[in-house]
Amino acid sequence: MTILVTGGCGYIGAHVVHALHKAGQRVVVVDDLSYGKPTRIEGSRLYGMDIAATGAGERLGEIMTAEDVDAVIHFAARKQVGESVAKPLWYYQQNLNGMLNVLTGMTKSHAKKLVFSSSAATYGVPPVDVVPEDVVPMVPINPYGQTKLFGEWMARACEEPFGIRFCALRYFNVAGCGPVELEDPAILNLIPMLFDRLKQGKAPAIFGDDYPTPDGTCVRDYIHVSDLADAHIAALHYLDRDERKYDAFNVGTGEGTSVRQIVDEVKKVTGLPFREAVMARRAGDPPHLIGSPKRINEEMGWHAKYGVEDIVRSAWDAWQANPDHHIDVANWKQNA
C-alpha cells in the first residue's frame, strides 16, 4: 500500500513513518514543517503544505491521486491544551479545516481508509476512573479536545456517502523515543519540558499540586511512542476488515502515573538530584485521565509493551544523543 501521513515529520508522525517503512509500506508525507524536519522521514516523498489553508482539499486530492494513495494517517494539527484555551478560534480554524481538507482530498481520490489521530482530551473530565470509549457524556473541557471530538464526527459522517473506512485512535500521554534521531523536536510534552528546564539550570516545573489525586498532581496514562506507532499499523489492518464493530479506540496502558511520579522517575534515570518548582495549574487540564485499552486489545490484538521506566529512559537517551540538548551530568552536579 501507499500511505499518506499528514504531519509525518513531527514527533509521533515520524515514529509512525518509521514503523510503516519497517512494515514494507510506501509512505508519502504532507507537513508544513512548523515542528518537524524532513530528515526524519527516511526518504519518503515530502510535500510541504499547510493542510488547513484554503484550497488544500483540492491539492491533497491531487497528491493522493498522483501518488496512488490507498490510506491516510492524519496527525497534522495543533495540540497544546493551554494554547487552545488562549486561542480557541485559531484552534478551530487549524484543526477542523485540516480534517475537512483531508476528507475532501480523500473524496477526490481512491484513498478510502483513514486513521485519525484523536485524543483522550475528547473525554473531558469523565465520571469514571478508567475510561472506556463509550463513556457518556463526552464533554471536552478545552477547545483542543473539542476539535478532536468534532474531527471524529466529521470522519464518521463521511463513511456512508463516500465509502471511507475510518477509525480514531484516542491517545493518552505519548512519551519516550524509538530511534534516538526521532527525539521529540518540540518542547511541548512533560518529559522534554523537564529535561529542557534541567538543561537551562532551572527547576523543572509541576503545574498544580492541589488536584484531587493521591499526591495532588495530575494523573495520566503514559504510552510509549513506539507502542503507539505499532497501534497505527494494527489500525490499518483493522480497516481492511469488512466487519468492524467499532471506529474509536483508546491507545493506552490502563495504568495511571502522576506528574510527581514522572518527576521522580526522571531523577532516578538521569541521576540529577534536582528540586522541582510547583507552579499554578494550567487552564484546561483535567485532574485524572486513564484509558481502558480493553477494546483495542481484543479487537486488534494490540498491547502496550513498554512501561514508565522504559519511556523515561528512552527519552533521556535521545535527549543525550542530541548535541544541542546534551547535559553533562557531572558538570551539572558540580554547579547545582
What's residue 335's pLDDT? 81
First CA to last CA across the chain, in angstroms?
A: 53
What's residue 237's pLDDT? 97
Which residues form the catalytic set? Answer: 144
What's residue 52's pLDDT? 97
In the chain, what are the domains? 2-172+224-251 (3.40.50.720), 175-221+253-321 (3.90.25.10)
Angle between helix 190-199 and helix 308-321 axes, rounded to 10 deg: 40
Length of the chain: 336
CA distance 300 to 246: 11
Residue 265 DSSP SS3? helix
- For the entire predicted model, the pTM comes to 0.94
Cα 241 off chain centre by: 25
Low-confidence ranges of the chain (pLDDT < 70): none
What's residue 193's pLDDT? 92
